[in-house]
Each structure stands twice: as structure tokens, then as C-alpha cells.
């Protein structure tokens, strides 16, 4: 993913309220499920959770972290979950210099 796209996505998500962001994640999961031609029942069996949990998640975004991980695993999206709070390391000398400057200011 390009840096510009990452920044754009970060800005888009930062404009969403927490409930809206949760709903978006649920909608994204629904799209991923449909793209793989899976019914809620089939995904529930694959993930080891109830069909009603999937229905609630897709419609409201409400789910436990364990449930989210089980769905992500069943949909092949574990990398995205694993990188959720991953700290990006600087990739160039200029970025390292900039990072040092930012930390020094107060």
C-alpha cells in the first residue's frame, strides 16, 4: 500500500466516530464474506461462532475481539488484524532525521 493511500485511509477513518468506524468494519466483513461467496451460516461454521453473532457484527459492528479474530481468520484477514497497532519503522535516513526532530520538540 502506498504511503499516500495509507495517509488518506487514516484521515478517512479519523473522521469517523467510533460507532461509525465499527459499522464500517462490519460492512467490510460482510463485503469480504460475499466476495468469497460465503453464507453467514457457512462463515459461522468456519469461524466457530454463531450466525447471529455474524449478523449483529455485519449490521452494527458490535463484536468481541475474540469474535473479530475468529471471523478475520476464517476470511483470511489475519494479517490486517495482526498489524492493527503495528508501529511503522522509518524507511529512509530523512524520515529518521524527521522522527528525531519531532520527538525533541515540546
Which burial class, exposed, middle or buried, applies to 11 when counting CB atoms under 10 A from its CB (0-12, 13-18, 19+)?
exposed
Residue 34: C-alpha distances to residues 37, 43, 58 (Å): 5, 10, 11
Average pLDDT in the chain: 83
Q: Note the pLDDT of residue 101.
A: 60
Query: Which whole number is the average pLDDT over 42-56?
Result: 98
44 pLDDT more than 80: yes
Q: Which is nearest to 18 in space by CA: 60, 69, 79?
A: 60
Look at 8-12, 65-69, 89-93 and tell me which has the smallest mean pLDDT.
8-12
5 pLDDT more than 80: no
Query: Which whole number is the average pLDDT over 73-102?
Result: 80
Look at 18-22, 73-77, 94-98 and tell me which has the smallest mean pLDDT.
94-98
Q: Three-state SS string across the chain, please?
A: CCHHHHHHHHHHHHCCCHHHHHHHHHHHHHHHHHHCCCCHHHHHHHHCCCHHHHHHHHHHCCCCHHHHHHHHHHHCCHHHHHCCCCCCCCCCHHHHHHHHHHHHCC
Query: Which whole number is the average pLDDT over 74-101?
Result: 81
pLDDT above 90 as % of the chain: 60
Query: Which whole number is the average pLDDT over 17-45?
Result: 96
Q: Note the pLDDT of residue 96.
A: 67
Amino acid at each position: 500500500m502506498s504511503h499516500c493511500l495509507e495517509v488518506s485511509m487514516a484521515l478517512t477513518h479519523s473522521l469517523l466516530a467510533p460507532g461509525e468506524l465499527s459499522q464500517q468494519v462490519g460492512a467490510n466483513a460482510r463485503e469480504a464474506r460475499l466476495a468469497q461467496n460465503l453464507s453467514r451460516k457457512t462463515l459461522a461454521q468456519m469461524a466457530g461462532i454463531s450466525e447471529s453473532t455474524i449478523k449483529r457484527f455485519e449490521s452494527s459492528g458490535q463484536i468481541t475481539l475474540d469474535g473479530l479474530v475468529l471471523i478475520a481468520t476464517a476470511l483470511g484477514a489475519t494479517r490486517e488484524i495482526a498489524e492493527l497497532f503495528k508501529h511503522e519503522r522509518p524507511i529512509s535516513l530523512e524520515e529518521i532525521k524527521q522522527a528525531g526532530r519531532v520527538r525533541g520538540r515540546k
